[in-house]
Chain A
Amino acid sequence: AQSVSQHNHHVILSEAASLELGCNYSYGGTVNLFWYVQYPGQHLQLLLKYFSGDPLVKGITGFEAVFIKSKFSFNLRKPSVQWSDTAEYFCAVNSGYSTLTFGKGTMLLVSP
């Protein structure tokens, strides 16, 4: 069975700091990779996704993620966070035919 590991459960940053959230998965074959975000009181939204091609994927609001196949990783990055990025971030993986497997989430708190 697939598993997804998110390295940090809680991250606290000051505004303008750089962000990198780690995500590793266990499946060795072809995968589809997703980052979802849940802002306080809002529903889960797709931030970005990777199916194939350029391993650097750009998403909404300045986020990007890089797929490193050899490391089974799909880390989320943002060069300069804002207070409005305070949210919970979920990495998710599937192998095409299968259902999504989610990580446990990382709560990001950005202090102004």
Chain B
Amino acid sequence: DVKVTQSSRYLVKRTGEKVFLECVQDMDHENMFWYRQDPGLGLRLIYFSYDVKMKEKGDIPEGYSVSREKKERFSLILESASTNQTSMYLCASSFRVWEGARRTDTQYFGPGTRLTVL
């Protein structure tokens, strides 16, 4: 079974603090993703990485950065936390799978970190 773990289930931080959210996967997946989940908005992609030291912006990267120094670990960084970053943060990972000329990756999710910024 794929195992994606996140460092904390619940986190409370103050406005202006630097926040690190850690994600680790144990299946040697190339791709890793960070989403935020908000009621009524579904999941929105913040950043993703398709290889070590590589990163790509998702749909809502503002206020966030990421780091991928090792294949199994993908960190999300809030440089200066704000109250509008209060949310559930989900990490996911996937293999790069080819069926002919077509990609058919499947993403697997961690349990999430519920971050509250006061």
Contact = CB atoms under 8 A, between A and B. Distances in A.
B106 A34 contact: yes
Nearest to A36: B109
Nearest to B2: A46
B99 interface: yes
Interface string B33-64: 10100001111110010000000001000000
Mostly, the B contact residues are strand
Nearest to B90: A44
Interface residues of A, number: 24
B109 A45 contact: yes
Contacts of B43: 44, 90, 92, 102
Given A43-B111, A43-B112, A96 B42 contact: no
Mostly, the A contact residues are loop
B40 A104 contact: yes
Contact of B42 (A90, A97, A99): A90
Interface of A: 9, 30, 32, 34, 36, 42-46, 49, 51-52, 90, 92, 94, 96-97, 99-100, 102-105
